[in-house]
Structure 1
Amino acid sequence: MLLSWLTGLGAGMVFLHFVQKRLFPYFWDDFWFLLKVVRNGIQMEMCKRRGKLVTVLDKFLSQAKRQPQKPFIIYEGDIYTYQDVDKRSNRVAHVFLNHSLLKKGDTVALLMSNEPDFIHVWFGLAKLGCVVAFLNSNIRSNSLLHCIRTCEPTALVVGGDLLGRIEEILPCLPKDVSVWGMNDSVPQGVVSLKQKLSTSSDEPLPCSHHVVSNLKSTSLYIFTSGTTGLPKAAMVSHSQALRGSAGFWAFGCREDDVIYITLPLYHSAASLLGVGGCIELGATCVLKKKFSASQFWNDCKKYNVTVFQYIGELCRYLCKQPKREEERDHQVRLAIGNGIRSDVWRQFLDRFGNIKMCELYGATEGSISFMNHTGKIGSVGRTNFFYKLFFPFELIKYDFQKDEPMRNEQDWCIRVKKGHPGLLISPVSTKNPFLGYAGSYRHTKSKLLFDVFKKGDVYFNTGDLMVQDQEDFLYFWDRIGDTFRWKGENVATTEVADVIGMLDFIQETNVYGVPVSGYEGKAGMASIILKPNKSLDLEKMYEQVITSLPAYACPQFLRIQEKMETTGTFKLQKFHLVEEGFNPLKISDPLYFLDNFKKAYVPLTKELYDHIISEKLKF
């Protein structure tokens, strides 16, 4: 009797296992991942109910107390332990406490490259309860001035290698902003923070300076180009920072991992997911000033790297490097990032060994995120009924001609079917708030959709088009609006157009992104109308874009037109221009290419076009 019962039970379990594998192949992957998400949420809720609101800074202080001598940052061969970073950041806090008028809640802008002092200053200011605004170290001139004015800082801290950038705009800065330079020798009007640090105390500050009463309060400003205009300062709450710092842990990283970060710290990927993720784990971070494809695997071997962060371009650069025998001689087991193409993904794995690629998606200012926990090539993540309970979202139809969401006869948005691209939106609620941007509310409002499926509902517009397949895997499809992505950065087309429009021979400029064979994202292209009786000055054009824009935002292609089409709402038409691209055989208008070797815009000939398409010419 018992034997037959056990046999039947066994047969039943085998059958259920077969059905699960057949009909629900990702059930256990989804289950264990969701369990991690729920566990993390429960831990945060338990802390809140105990009346103890724990921030990323609090977690760092806990790690510094628990393992003071463990390496936290390795930079250019130098080791900074958790205790070292704690003490150095204490020095920063004491300098501002004793030599400035900074108070809790004030904003301080930070313009620094990747270096340990970026983290020291960030944590030092956080210990005073300040909101820190991360400025993009690539921008300059009017864009930099705009960003500083937008976040309205009380003080500005500048890295030693970027003081020249600030000196250019120093006379234009608001008079009430004190400027501090991380160098012994600083321009007139700038205070040397480095000198004051040498005599500052490294004793801990009272927790009362940085304790928070609400995790929804602003912790950081991180600039994003969004979909229109100049960069906007996205408000990042303590709660969002905590969620970001849990990403490495959710993907299976451990305390004994050594994590290689070459992405810029002014982005949330490197700062929140990267540095914050190391803190969450108590792991070690190898920080690189700038990514180097030729040094990448040497560094991984030298520092025993087990995990690295990537963007798609980084992996593509590595695949383009000449093959070397030792490129598989490493301990890397995980790579975490976003934006890698399927073909590059496969090529990377074939060439560099058994590395699990952990693709993810997230918007700095939004609450929606996806994580590819199954390793499905090309996907940014997976969804299911339970996942949408925690991270609700919708994919809606988008009108590319009108550049806006489609609506039906009742004026409601329309959900797309599986397999079709749709605009990714997520509901705004008390549970999933959208803090928006610093400054005018119109910037925040521009990212919101109202009355989407019913009267009164509000959704955050990510500006990204996604496709959901029949197995509920999600794939990034494209960006919408006046923005495109190039060299791992979002480029606001209106900002580029404004810079070009300053030239006295330009009447109108239409900037957009065009796909280029072999490259991630889209390269910038500017369609231009000249003023009557004015001629194109390529030298002035080159000088203007190179001196006023970051390298990734400079248009790679120029097109000279006699007139431009507009939409029904009088917006410049981009759809057909993007479709036509930069092929001189199909376009009769004059075309030019930004030749970095010649440091000039040159005519785009068929021969040059062929070199670009065949990837013989790199840019």
Structure 2
Amino acid sequence: MIQQVLEAPESRSFGSSSRSDIFLLIKEMLAYILCTALAVLPLLIYFRNPYFLKDLHCTFLSIYVGIRLSRIEKKFYSILDRFLDKVAEHPHKKFIVYEESSYTYSQADRESNKVARALLTHAHLKEGDTVALFLGNEPWFVWIWLALSKLGCTASFLNVNIRSKSLLHCFSCCEAKVLITGADLQGAIEEVLPTLKQQGIRVFILREHCHVDGIESLSDKIQMESDEPLSRQLRASINIKSPAVYIYTSGTTGLPKAAVLKHERVWMGSFLLTFVGVRSDDVIYIYLPLYHSAAFLMGLCGAIERGSTVVLRSKFSASNFWNDCRKYNVTVIQYIGEVMRYLCNTPKRDNDKDHKVRLAVGNGIREDTWVEFLERFGNICIRECYGATEGNVGFFNYGGKVGAVGREHFLYKMACKYALIRFDTEKEDAVLPFKLLFKHILLLLLAGETGLLVAKIGKRTPFSGYAKHKQQTDKKKLRDVFKKGDVYFNSGDLLKIDDEGFIFFQDRIGDTFRWKGENVATTEVADHLLAVDFVEEANVYGVKVPGHEGRIGMAALKLKENMDFDGKAFYQHVKNYLPSYARPRFVRIQDALVVTSTFKQMKVKLAEEGFNPALIKDPLFYLEDNKGYIPMTQEIFNCIAEGRLRL
């Protein structure tokens, strides 16, 4: 009818009211069609991309964080400034809860003021100095770090497990002038004290009295100081490009390297809790070591950025984990994959789901452990993430797909130019697309194909490298990757991306493997093994164990002529010089260690062969807890493979 009316001859006459009715009808029909389309559009988008709303939410968060960072760059604003603002905003809110004590934001501020004044008076610190902190998880760690920030100093966080040569190396490579340690670590300091005294290093210990020559007490000096605020002029020259902290990471050099974390990097790490949905009213449980980036950046600094409360524990305890969560009303937990497995292996209880934890943030959880954890402990949102202490690229799994460490997002891809490139596992080397005749063939891997993660080094994605390690810093850079002159950060990690854009961690390459949440440098371990009198050559590598995350240490040894393997002596040596997570659990004795044409030890094939005595004819030994190395038997292997013997 409408068509007939519109096509009527010009001579045909009809009233204005009739014409108005027709146009009104057309408008109503168009409006109906539009409304229908708008109603159906979300369904179409959802079926095309079920993660659309989560992508959209991440987009808004990315824009928000981007604006925050832009303002911070224009007018420098540090995590310390954020802390002081939170002190002013809610001075009486709990900041740190430790055992039976709790400290408000204002109390933490005052305690750190006293520490800063004591160090200013007795250690004569000034802006730009570096101070090494050799201390475990306790409130003093937080107070001293805040104090050093107020003085414009850079804190160097030493792993409390290192000893002897490694401790001296870590201390010297950051050029620290002062070392602060806890009373429980005095023995480790005394071992290296002659060298520290020779270098003129001031050593302070958190005790009221110390009669050891070369070690000065600090607690008594702190108690004598005022808790009044310090002048901001003490840190007036610090900017976003200034080093904030040194955090140590193991690498292919063997000895730990001091990753330089500038203030911009600290901010980026702290913003992760914003992305995963942590609120100011959350209570965050931190038991991972504060000297690592996960607990310090994401945990402590993230809590300050959000204005949350931190429950601090000296170390992880599977038996006390959920009791702590209930006692302190914890709502957010950090984790590494091993921790989640430990929790799942604890005896089941009727109150396993009786807690307030709503969010878990971390990395390294296996798919089967992920599913088991949720089934047992309730509907907890798991936010798996990926990143490296010194890296310039990171991901987090906001989509929630089990097993993924992240999800690609268009805004992040615009800001951070990263890619997966082919990696030659035989040569243990990257295949650079730019150096190929048909380079564009390899620019993008097929969905589900594993590649080496690299990220372009630029203004928005800097790589600061390692303190006093130019050679190792350069080793992490790949040049001429996609075009002449570009420089990319080599993550050393193999990842894959599925057809939905989810990112999955596959493996680590090179001379480092991860066990018990710690990076183990194979060359460092091998150096220690070579000090054993009957060992001529040592090749250390990580092997996979059924039901365990990461890789456990194994060593292939060539013995000196006419000498036998002494399991007890070997165990005593590794016990004295290596932390528990770095001690080889399995030993393989070979007549000759296989090397490449360039005399590089072959690790990949040995790692693939593992420790099964049914397949390996070489003598094998197993480290029995607290007893020593005993001959590896098929029964021991079966117990490990079947999960009856936990490592």
Question: TM-score, normalising length from structure 2?
Answer: 0.93
Q: In the TM superposition, what is the alpha-carbon distance from 1:384 to its structure 2 partner? A: 3.4
Structure 1 runs (4+) deviating above 6 angstroms are: none
Q: In the TM superposition, what is the alpha-carbon distance from 1:387 to its structure 2 partner? A: 2.2
Gaps of 5+ in 1: none
Deviates more, 1:533-542 or 1:61-70: 533-542
1:82 maps to 2:110: no
Counterpart contact for 2:253–2:523, Cα < 8 Å = yes
The aligned counterpart of 2:243 is 218
The aligned counterpart of 1:586 is 615
Q: In the TM superposition, what is the alpha-carbon distance from 1:211 to its structure 2 partner? A: 3.5
Counterpart contact for 2:252–2:523, Cα < 8 Å = no
Distance 1:97 1:310 in 2: 37
The letter for the 1-side match of 2:232 is C
- Secondary structure of the 2:203 match is strand
Q: After superposition, where does 1:46-445 map in structure 2 within 5 Å? A: 46-49=71-74, 52-173=75-196, 174-186=198-210, 187-407=212-432, 410-411=435-436, 414-415=442-443, 416-445=445-474
- Secondary structure of the 1:325 match is coil
Q: In the TM superposition, what is the alpha-carbon distance from 1:212 to its structure 2 partner? A: 4.5
Deviates more, 1:13-22 or 1:279-288: 13-22
Counterpart contact for 1:278–1:285, Cα < 8 Å = yes
Distance 1:409 1:4 in 2: 57
Counterpart contact for 2:568–2:629, Cα < 8 Å = yes
The aligned counterpart of 1:556 is 585
Q: Deviations over 1:376-418 (max 9, x none)?
A: 1100111033320022211011111111112469458744322
The letter for the 2-side match of 1:284 is T
Q: 1:493 pairs with 492, 500, 522, which one?
A: 522
- Seen in structure 2, the aligned counterparts of structure 1 residues 510 and 139 have a Cα distance that, compared at 3 Å, is same
The aligned counterpart of 1:473 is 502
Counterpart contact for 1:227–1:480, Cα < 8 Å = no
- Seen in structure 2, the aligned counterparts of structure 1 residues 198 and 519 have a Cα distance that, compared at 3 Å, is same
Distance 2:287 2:393 in 1: 25
Q: Deviations over 1:466-517 (max 9, x none)?
A: 0111111000000000010000111110010001011121111100000001
Q: 1:605 pairs with 605, 609, 633, which one?
A: 633
Distance 2:245 2:72 in 1: 21
The letter for the 2-side match of 1:605 is T
Distance 1:408 1:298 in 2: 53
Counterpart contact for 1:228–1:483, Cα < 8 Å = no
CA RMSD of aligned residues (A): 1.4
The letter for the 1-side match of 2:642 is S
Counterpart contact for 2:416–2:456, Cα < 8 Å = no
- Secondary structure of the 2:420 match is strand
Q: In the TM superposition, what is the alpha-carbon distance from 1:594 to its structure 2 partner? A: 0.9
The letter for the 1-side match of 2:200 is D
The letter for the 2-side match of 1:231 is P
1:518 maps to 2:542: no
Counterpart contact for 1:369–1:391, Cα < 8 Å = no
Q: 1:596 pairs with 625, 630, 633, which one?
A: 625
Counterpart contact for 1:53–1:212, Cα < 8 Å = no
- Secondary structure of the 1:326 match is coil
Counterpart contact for 1:402–1:567, Cα < 8 Å = no
Distance 1:339 1:227 in 2: 21
> How many percent of aligned residue pairs carry the same amino acid?
49
Deviates more, 1:304-313 or 1:136-145: 136-145
- Secondary structure of the 2:290 match is coil
The letter for the 2-side match of 1:307 is V
- Secondary structure of the 2:91 match is coil
The letter for the 2-side match of 1:197 is I
Q: Deviations over 1:273-314 (max 9, x none)?
A: 101111111110000101111111111111111111001111
- Seen in structure 2, the aligned counterparts of structure 1 residues 310 and 382 have a Cα distance that, compared at 3 Å, is same
Counterpart contact for 1:515–1:581, Cα < 8 Å = yes
1:614 maps to 2:638: no
Q: In the TM superposition, what is the alpha-carbon distance from 1:200 to its structure 2 partner? A: 1.2
